[in-house]
Structure 1
Amino acid sequence: MNTVEISVIVPIYRIEKYLPQCVDSLLNQSFLDFELILVDDGSPDNCPKICDDYAKKDARIKVIHKENGGLVSARKEGLKSAKGKYVTFVDGDDWVDKFYLDIMFKLADTNKADLVVTGHFREFDGKIETIKPKDVGIYNEKELKSKILPNAIYNGEFCEHGISTYVWNKLFKKDLLDQILFNVPNDVVMGEDAAITFSYLTITKSLVISSTPLYYYRQRHDSIVKSVENPKIEYYRLGLLMNYLQSKLKMSLDENNIKEQITYYLYSQILVRSGGLIYGEDGNQMFNPFLNIEPNSRVVVYSSGSFGQHILSTNIKNNYFKVVNWIDVDYHELKIGDNYVKPISSVSESDYDYLIIATINPSYHKNIKTELSLMGVDEKKIVKINTDFNQVSSLLVQLGFDDEFRFQNN
């Protein structure tokens, strides 16, 4: 069997607008000893033809056409055909730096690493933000078990991961990935990356974390999760992920640590998708995570991302508080109800009681808080989110999650 150093797997579904840039960036790599596996997951647009056309021009490309089965199944099909010693994943609507494979391979080869983690760029509306991991360094098996795994999902600050969930800024050993990916259920359709990354960490013996950004992640307007029409379906899907993670982590971590990490991770995902305010089937409010905000409070919402959009959408339905302004440093045209996104300078024009920074990442929260203070925002008006462990645990039980994090309310 002809082998290569790296297999690059690209799952593809309805991204014909972005696919050429992705493939071109991979074919333009300075590192040459790789194969490119394009997995057409039953895409109904022009993606299948684009894949085949590229394969005719470059012998490094292998195309797999399959019935639509979701992201996990597409990655599995790609891995079945992979011949590389290492594997990396690239989303078909993203692109990579010319030295993406070269640098990751050298990081892995030099340090005999089972896993390489790098930084990345976030592109949104033409603006590019650099994201760098915090704990840069080389970790052996002992340090992985004592320092990395106990803080991988929740690092002690709500709710920031010690290791990013994404599979696309990482390089995996194929023989180890074979032991993990094929065990991930295909019906895990929320948090697929987390299911792979955190499970893989449990069998990793050597890790390298580099701050070098090499991957361009495209944040698309049409990819942001919109209004949740049926919370039970979302809870069920989140439960599948959390239960799977618990089953994989229990061999490496103590019960209390697992419970803390997954409880806060699940809570954070529910907050984002619910818009914070959580209501029962009877329409009555079950939980308000925004400390001190009372009904009819005048509120400024910062962030036009998923959490911010959900806050506005949920409030339109339930009219708990009055949104007097919606701001973001990533200003772009977007409207929900009567609110348009405005630049952060407009906050000084608002008469408000509270300001919600719609992020669950404490690093982002601190940076945004600093920028807002420069605009004259009173720190006392910035809302804190309830992270009391007992109250959060009680909420999850009320919603229908059991001790194994499965959603039982059918």
Structure 2
Amino acid sequence: MKLLSVGVPVYNAEPYLEKCVSSILTQNYREIEVILVDDGSTDASGAICDAFAKQDARVRVIHSSNCGRMEARLAAVKHAKGDFMTFVDSDDFIQPDMYEELMRLQASYGCDVVTSGMLGYRPGEESSVSLDQVDEGFYDANQIASLILPHLIWEKGTFGMIPSLCNKIFRRNLLLQQYEQTGGTRIAYGEDILIFYPMMLTVRNIYVSHKSYYFHRAKYRENIYVRDENYFSDVYEFYARLKRVFSSHKEWPIIQRALESMYITFVGQRRRMYGQYGADMQYLFPFASVQRGARVILYGAGIVGRSFYEQIRRTHYCKLVLWVDRDYVQCQAEGFPVQIISDLENVAYDAVVIAVKAPGLQEQIRRMLMETYGINAMRIITEIC
């Protein structure tokens, strides 16, 4: 039997952790190692991890400072000994036959990846089933390119393929390679998307199973991800990265529509928090290109600029040190704190965000800022979404 490594990032999961780890250790497939990464927990999670390690030699524990789930998973990948790897989130649990069935499919077809469905779990209620929206079966590299990639990201209002890393098994070297390429990103929402979707460009073959073994609890909690202050920057980051990764693919026109549909959906989820304002918010501030806490000059007070201003004001993501526009007098009359452009010579700043949609006008403003005010091009941001 092949050794399967199971990584479990753990952070303050005391109420759920025992059920989670027990469901892994009681798998029918016995050739496993379990790597519990205690990511700086402040509750009893670390002690629970250590207790499991004393009870079962297949369990190893890594204690670290709180670095986020991506770094915790990467630590598990680096310390793993198996050629194959998977994950379980510390508040979830799995059916006893999950790894037996997925490893059987891997052995039968020699797959780089085997994927399955997921069960949305809430105590006392019937579980909901989520499946990949591609046909069940084996796909080689050519079939992945023609049958899966065009439908990978978004299909019929939801994920084409479930991006979670927990309902799959992988060749460990593929995971390691993708994590190292993604490098240092710390986001709360979309980490699986950043790893799994780009990986599909390098996967040689995959088996898609429509059976479900994984019970996912988090989707039924209060939507903590949407309420997180980093939500917009996380969503923009995985959107921008996927755009860079897939833009040269031959199916890019189809993939682009899917990617943009997914992006619009996620932004809409956050907009609903803002009531009437959210219905009017048309443009997303370029969170991924502006460092948290940066001192920002906002150039432009039209529809785009006012949308950006509201997002900065509401999220407190960065510090708005100056808002400028040629029509500052009219803007002030309307009650907006907009100043004359020349005031930018009198403030310290880290970035200038051009809040103008028209590419030609963007370029004119960018050149003016560089030539008239000596602003470094690297500090000028023009992304409009």
- Does TM, normalized by the shorter one, top 0.5? yes
1:273 corresponds, among 263, 270, 274, to 270
Q: Once the 2 structures are TM-superposed, how far is the Cα of residue 130 of structure 1 from its aligned partner?
A: 2.9
User: Which amino acid in the other structure matches residue 210 of structure 2?
Assistant: S
2:245 is equivalent to residue 256 of structure 1? no
Could you give the per-residue CA deviations for residues 330-381 of structure 1, whole angstroms, max 9, x where no partner exists? xxxxxxxxxxxxxxxxxxxxxxxxxxxxxxxxxxxxxxxxxxxxxxxxxxxx
Tell me: CA distance 1:137–1:278, structure 2 relative to 1, closer, same or farther (3 Å): farther
Tell me: CA distance 1:143–1:284, structure 2 relative to 1, closer, same or farther (3 Å): closer
Total equivalences in the alignment: 289
Could you give the per-residue CA deviations for residues 28-81 of structure 1, whole angstroms, max 9, x where no partner exists? 011111100001111111000000011011110010111101111110000010
Aligned partner of 2:138 in structure 1 is 138
User: Which amino acid in the other structure matches residue 240 of structure 1?
Assistant: E
Could you give the per-residue CA deviations for residues 203-247 of structure 1, whole angstroms, max 9, x where no partner exists? 1111111111111111465452377485xx432221111111222
Aligned partner of 2:244 in structure 1 is 247
Q: Once the 2 structures are TM-superposed, how far is the Cα of residue 408 of structure 1 from its aligned partner?
A: 4.5
The 2-side partners of 1:173 and 1:235 are apart by: 32
SS in 2 for 1:119: strand
Tell me: CA distance 1:39–1:200, structure 2 relative to 1, closer, same or farther (3 Å): same
2:283 is equivalent to residue 285 of structure 1? no
The 1-side partners of 2:280 and 2:203 are apart by: 43
The 2-side partners of 1:84 and 1:239 are apart by: 34
The 1-side partners of 2:266 and 2:186 are apart by: 18
2:45 corresponds, among 36, 44, 47, to 47
The 2-side partners of 1:147 and 1:278 are apart by: 40
Q: Once the 2 structures are TM-superposed, how far is the Cα of residue 133 of structure 1 from its aligned partner?
A: 3.2
| Unmatched segments (≥5 aa) in structure 1 | 288-395
State whether residues 2 and 31 of structure 2, in contact with CA within 8 Å, keep that contact through their aligned partners in structure 1.
Answer: yes
Could you say what the CA RMSD is over the residues aligned between the two structures, in angstroms?
A: 2.9
Larger helix percent: 2
Structure 1 runs (4+) greater than 4 angstroms displaced: 220-223, 226-230, 276-280, 406-409
Aligned partner of 1:321 in structure 2 is none
State whether residues 10 and 39 of structure 1, in contact with CA within 8 Å, keep that contact through their aligned partners in structure 2.
Answer: yes
1:177 corresponds, among 175, 178, 200, to 175
The 1-side partners of 2:150 and 2:279 are apart by: 37
| Unmatched segments (≥5 aa) in structure 2 | 283-355, 363-380
Aligned partner of 1:187 in structure 2 is 186
Could you give the per-residue CA deviations for residues 185-204 of structure 1, whole angstroms, max 9, x where no partner exists? 42233211111110111111
Computing the radius of gyration from Cα coordinates, the structure with the larger value is 2
Q: TM-score, normalised by structure 1?
A: 0.65
1:109 corresponds, among 91, 107, 110, to 107
The 1-side partners of 2:72 and 2:93 are apart by: 19
The 2-side partners of 1:408 and 1:206 are apart by: 36
State whether residues 239 and 407 of structure 1, in contact with CA within 8 Å, keep that contact through their aligned partners in structure 2.
Answer: no
SS in 2 for 1:10: strand
